[in-house]
Amino acid sequence: MKWEGNRESDNVEDRRGSGGGGGMPVFGGRSIGIGTIVIALVGGWVLGINPLTILGLLSGGGMPAQVQQAPAQRPPADDTMARFVSTVLADTEDVWQRVFREGGGRYQEPRLVLFRGATPTACGTGQAAMGPFYCPADQKVYIDLGFYETLKSRLGAPGDFAQAYVIAHEVGHHVQHLLGITSKVDQMRGRVSQKEYNAMSVRLELQADCFAGVWAHHAQNARQILEQGDVEEAMNAAARIGDDALQRASGGAVVPDSFTHGSSAQRQRWFHTGLKQGSVQACDTFSARSL
């Protein structure tokens, strides 16, 4: 991916220097057990949205009215990985601003938080072991950059464009939040069976994959960011984090009813649909007869 020299976002909040998860006995420092990560991944947390419910449980229920926030701090200039994330975020801002404007709306930019180990969010305490996630309540994307090592080494999805896809997917959740889609799905929780709720979660996640593709489509048209092999990197990542692939990798049985993000083939298909078509309308996973 060609990104060096492109604009960096002003919406990155670097919390890595402020003690990170230092006070956390379990997730402190970099000593996250790989077992925990694997369990969290299989639990459907990879690129998860919605810490609203589960994070609420973890932190003792209820959402904090006000989240204490350290003042935003920009990442250091010599931190290539942070600069990369910041550049990708800026690119999503440019694309979605245009897409919203052309649709007669206004795009509100999300913020992106870099953290280590654990960090407070409006959705409860965010843990690195959950993988990157988006919290609708504070409109922030959270990522511990250590996830990229997991993505490359444990999940077999290397490459900078695979890393960009992760950010674009989370920003896709922000777009869903702005469009009111997330809250509609949330309202169904508890009113439908777990199986039905999982099925809706899959449609939500596949739409976020499709929106990631929409971003790539417009970024390519405007800035020619793609290099040889980039699309394959994203398609490979989409496959590696499919629910069936994760369940198989954990040595367990593949149980489609328990899927929350979609199968490898579905994730690839919807990312590719967004990439080819470049429109929000093409990403209507909720009306799609077959995913």
Q: Which residues bind Zn ion (CB under 5 A)?
A: 47, 49, 205, 208
Contact 77, 86 (CB under 8 A): no
Length of the chain counted residue by residue:
291
Shortest Cβ 49–Zn ion spacing (Å): 5
Give the whole-angstrom CA distance, residue 100 versus residue 96.
Answer: 6
The residue assigned the tokens 């092999």 is: 229
- Give the residue with the Cβ less far from Zn ion, 51 or 159: 51
For residue 13, what is the enclosing H or E element? strand 12-14
Which residue is nearest to Zn ion, using beta carbons? 47
Shortest Cβ 173–Zn ion spacing (Å): 6
- Give the residue with the Cβ less far from Zn ion, 144 or 205: 205
Least Cα distance to 233 among 168, 286, 160, 289 occurs for: 160
For residue 101, what is the enclosing H or E element? helix 80-102
Shortest Cβ 52–Zn ion spacing (Å): 13
Shortest Cβ 145–Zn ion spacing (Å): 18
Give the whole-angstrom CA distance, residue 242 versus residue 245.
Answer: 5
- Give the residue with the Cβ less far from Zn ion, 49 or 90: 49
Strands (E), 97-221: 111-114, 118-121, 124-127, 133-135, 140-143
Shortest Cβ 241–Zn ion spacing (Å): 9
Give the whole-angstrom CA distance, residue 160 versus residue 233.
Answer: 8
- Give the residue with the Cβ less far from Zn ion, 87 or 182: 182
Shortest Cβ 48–Zn ion spacing (Å): 5
- Give the residue with the Cβ less far from Zn ion, 70 or 288: 288
